[in-house]
């Protein structure tokens, strides 16, 4: 028999992953969230190291190794496998949390960190932006805010695995979360903002070749310009936060945390407000990941797109260097690492073009 093409292999892997996630949700519905956690953990470990998932697992390990350069090989492997456990638990929780996190019961599963300032923003009746990443239990974050009375509209980028995408859409929509397809957002967002509602973004995915390239773990990553442009146009604060999954020994299962709040006054005096906003929310997501590295989806291709100077084999632009250097939190060591990695990526692109 002939070997499968990459597209055929990806399709098989997507359906296998969907079958595994639905198996995890079935186990949770039969045995309960707590009693099924061990089974979900074993299933995720098998999938992480399976032949169907070899490329993604290798990518996860490479990403972790770059983000944590002093980590041991054993720790990197542990975090890579734990990332799949986190993914499977997310799927299992999605099937159960809508009936567990309600206005009357949310406090049984969720504890609130120091988020009073964020809640004041949401309660003011003025529009705001909520930023999170694929870190922690973002489904629990959305359901908890809904239970607290925050009207949340989430921009949604369809998942590559269509069977999983269809199922996620069905569950989220049935529980009152308003999903806004990113491709139709331009027409839908103005009335939502005029009504003083919150717009949520999961903002750590690759934004393509035309995105704004800002640092993420000391490597340039394509980031969404639309968030900063929206904040600047409507003068909206940006709340960056996550729902971190707590250890099993804790009484509650999740903790809602705020990692940063970016206000209009913060960017007004910046030389490049859009770059500042984008780099700062990316930094907030990086903080989320550092706080719980085992709860991040490291298999994502967060650094897939490369900036124009790398694709053309040109030196690191001095204008970009100055922008990065102007960021208040930037250190000379981090800047040097960003430039060094950019040069390596440019070399890899050139070597690939010569093959």
Read off the pLDDT of residues 14-37 as tens digits, 9 standing for 90 and up: 666 666 666 656 656 555 556 656
Q: Are residues 199 and 318 in the same domain?
A: no
Q: Is residue 82 part of a domain?
A: yes
Q: Are residues 294 and 344 in the same domain?
A: no
Q: Is the pTM of this model over 0.85?
A: yes
Domain count, the chain: 2
Read off the pLDDT of residues 232-245 as tens digits, 9 standing for 90 and up: 999 999 999 999 99
Angle, CA of 273, 277 and 282, to the nearest 5° = 150
Rounded Cα–Cα distance for residues 240 and 236 (Å): 13
Beta strands at 254-262 and 238-245: parallel, antiparallel or unpaired? antiparallel
Beta strands at 220-223 and 212-215: parallel, antiparallel or unpaired? antiparallel
Q: Is residue 117 part of a domain?
A: yes
Tokens 């139709």 -> residue: 184
CA 18, 35, 289, 58 torsion: positive or negative?
negative
The larger pLDDT score, comparing residue 53 to residue 244, is at: 244
Beta strands at 110-112 and 238-245: parallel, antiparallel or unpaired? unpaired
Tokens 């049935």 -> residue: 174
Read off the pLDDT of residues 139-159 as tens digits, 9 standing for 90 and up: 899 889 988 888 889 887 776
Q: Are residues 232 and 354 in the same domain?
A: no
The residue segments making up the domain with residue 73 are 6-305
CB 200 within 8 A of CB 153: yes
Out of 45-54, 112-121, 157-166, which region has the weakest mean confidence (pLDDT)? 157-166
- What Å distances lie between residue 294 and 68, 77, 83, 154, CA to CA? 12, 11, 5, 24
Q: Are residues 81 and 228 in the same domain?
A: yes
CA 285, 287, 290, 293 torsion: positive or negative?
negative
pLDDT for the residue 217: 98
Q: Are residues 276 and 316 in the same domain?
A: no
Q: Is residue 1 part of a domain?
A: no
Q: Are residues 208 and 224 in the same domain?
A: yes
Can you read off the two tokens belonging to residue 26? 């079935």
pLDDT for the residue 77: 95
Rounded Cα–Cα distance for residues 216 and 208 (Å): 15
Out of 178-187, 228-237, 329-338, which region has the weakest mean confidence (pLDDT)? 178-187
Q: Is residue 328 part of a domain?
A: no
- What Å distances lie between residue 193 and 129, 141, 150, 197, 231, CA to CA? 10, 20, 14, 6, 11
Q: Answer left, alpha or beta for residue 177, where phi above 0 means left and psi between -120 and 50 means alpha.
A: beta
pLDDT for the residue 5: 46
Rounded Cα–Cα distance for residues 122 and 294 (Å): 29
Q: Are residues 60 and 103 in the same domain?
A: yes
The larger pLDDT score, comparing residue 321 to residue 51, is at: 321
Q: Where would I find the H helices in 111-224?
A: 116-123, 138-147, 162-174, 185-194
Tokens 């001095």 -> residue: 318
Q: Is residue 125 part of a domain?
A: yes
Q: Are residues 166 and 262 in the same domain?
A: yes
> In the chain, what percentage of residues exceed pLDDT 90?
59
Rounded Cα–Cα distance for residues 340 and 344 (Å): 6
Q: Are residues 62 and 79 in the same domain?
A: yes
Q: Are residues 158 and 293 in the same domain?
A: yes
Whether residue 275 has pLDDT greater than 60: yes
């Amino acid at each position: 028999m002939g070997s499968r093409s990459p597209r055929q292999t990806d399709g098989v892997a997507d359906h296998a992953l969907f079958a595994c996630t639905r198996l995890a949700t079935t186990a949770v519905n039969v045995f309960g969230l707590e009693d099924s956690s061990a089974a979900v953990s074993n299933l995720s470990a098998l999938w992480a190291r399976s032949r169907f998932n070899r490329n993604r697992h290798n990518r996860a390990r490479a990403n972790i190794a770059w983000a944590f350069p002093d980590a041991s090989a054993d720790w990197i492997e542990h975090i890579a496998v734990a990332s799949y456990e986190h993914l499977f638990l997310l799927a299992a929780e999605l099937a159960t949390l809508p009936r567990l996190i309600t206005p009357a019961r949310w406090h049984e599963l969720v504890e609130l960190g120091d988020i009073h300032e964020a809640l004041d923003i949401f309660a003011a009746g003025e529009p705001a932006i909520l930023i999170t990443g694929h870190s922690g239990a973002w489904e629990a974050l959305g359901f908890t805010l809904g239970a607290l009375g925050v009207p949340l509209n989430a921009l949604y980028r369809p998942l590559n695995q269509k069977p999983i995408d269809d199922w996620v859409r069905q569950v989220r929509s049935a529980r009152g979360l308003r999903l806004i397809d990113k491709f139709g957002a331009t027409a839908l967002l103005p009335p939502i903002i005029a009504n003083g509602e919150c717009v949520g973004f999961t903002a750590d995915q690759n934004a393509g070749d035309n995105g704004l390239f800002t640092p993420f773990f000391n490597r340039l990553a394509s980031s969404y310009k639309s968030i900063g442009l929206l904040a600047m146009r409507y003068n909206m604060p940006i709340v960056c936060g996550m729902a971190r999954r707590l250890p099993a020994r804790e009484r509650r299962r999740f903790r809602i945390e705020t990692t940063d709040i970016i206000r209009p006054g913060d960017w007004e005096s910046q030389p490049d407000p859009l770059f500042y906003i984008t780099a700062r929310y990316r930094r907030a997501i990086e903080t989320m990941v550092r706080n719980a590295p085992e709860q991040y989806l490291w298999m994502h291709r967060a650094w897939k797109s490369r900036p124009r100077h790398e694709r053309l084999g040109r030196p690191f632009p001095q204008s970009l260097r100055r922008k990065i250097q102007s960021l208040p939190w930037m250190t000379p060591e981090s800047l040097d690492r960003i430039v060094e990695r950019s040069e390596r990526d440019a070399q890899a692109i050139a070597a690939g073009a010569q093959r």
